[in-house]
Structure 1
């Protein structure tokens, strides 16, 4: 896990379910796995589009030292 995940407190629970969107590292270089909410958008088989808060991506970028 790079960023996101279980909320630290009720004040931190922006998603309202105790488990926020999460960015995960994968064994494949340059590839991140993203947990988020499904949206209605046509995609090819095996793909999906997820919504995650901008702050989670920024946290992941800082963790990867991209920022």
Structure 2
């Protein structure tokens, strides 16, 4: 899978920020904070091999930016 960097959380520090990537497979990869709140996890049905991460609303701008300029192969 080839990742194309789209954007990093503009309000984060340089070492621990959420980041958005676009793939050539018409999908997204999101680096974010691990969700380990038992109440939140109990509300989801996460299959083996999957996980969830949390990102702030301010990161949504990068999903819109990623739609243009990425060539799907």
Normalising by structure 2, report the TM-score: 0.60
Given candidates 3, 19, 23, the residue that maps to 2:20 is 23
Aligned partners of 1:63, 1:56: CA distance in 2, in Å?
A: 12
Equivalenced residues, count: 57
- The reply to whether residue 58 of structure 1 matches residue 53 of structure 2 is no
Q: Which has the higher contact order (CA 8 A, sep 6+)?
A: 2
CA RMSD of aligned residues (A): 2.3
| 1:13-49 deviation line (CA, Å, top 9, x unaligned) | 3xx56331011011202x1001011113251111111
User: Please, which runs of 5 or more residues in structure 1 have no aligned partner?
Assistant: none
From the CA coordinates, give the structure whose radius of gyration is larger. Answer: 2
